[in-house]
Amino acid sequence: MSTRLYVGNISFKATEDNLRDLFSKAGEVVSVKLIKDAATGRLRGFGFVEMAEKEGAQKAVSMLNGSTFMDRNIVVNEAKPQERRERGPSRGRSGFSSKEGRR
């Protein structure tokens, strides 16, 4: 069963291929995802690596957490399940219900 890892403090110059190469030293990498800012498209400095085996994920954590990667000390740990967020009013809407009316 695959295991998803959180990777933090990633250099803004890093690519998904760079991370794939780094993590493949610990085991088989299923996927890599660097998170980008929705508004600017710039990297946010963190991402996720999915390892094929739990043993490979544990090896990656022990081997890479706190290590230097592209002049930064990266943080690597098992990702927590994503929490559901409350959704606010949709963009482009006034936020008024039909009973309140618009001003």
pLDDT at 84: 75
What is the Rg, in whole angstroms, of the alpha carbon atoms belonging to the chain? 19
Q: Are 57 and 7 in contact (CB under 8 A)?
A: no
Q: Identify any residues that bridge with 101 across adjacent strands, giving them in sequence order.
A: none
Give me the helices (H) in 1-103, please.
16-23, 54-64
Q: How many Cα neighbours within 13 Å face the side chain of 31?
A: 7
Chain-wide mean pLDDT for the chain? 88
Structure-model confidence comparison of residues 35 and 85, the more confident one: 35
- Is 0.85 topped by the overall pTM? no
Q: What is the distance between the alpha carbons of residues 70 and 102, in angstroms, rounded to a whole number?
A: 53
pLDDT at 83: 77
Of 65, 63, 3, residue with least CA distance to 28: 3
Annotated domain spans of the chain = 3-78
Instruction: Identify the CATH homologous superfamily for domain 3-78.
Output: RRM (RNA recognition motif) domain (3.30.70.330)
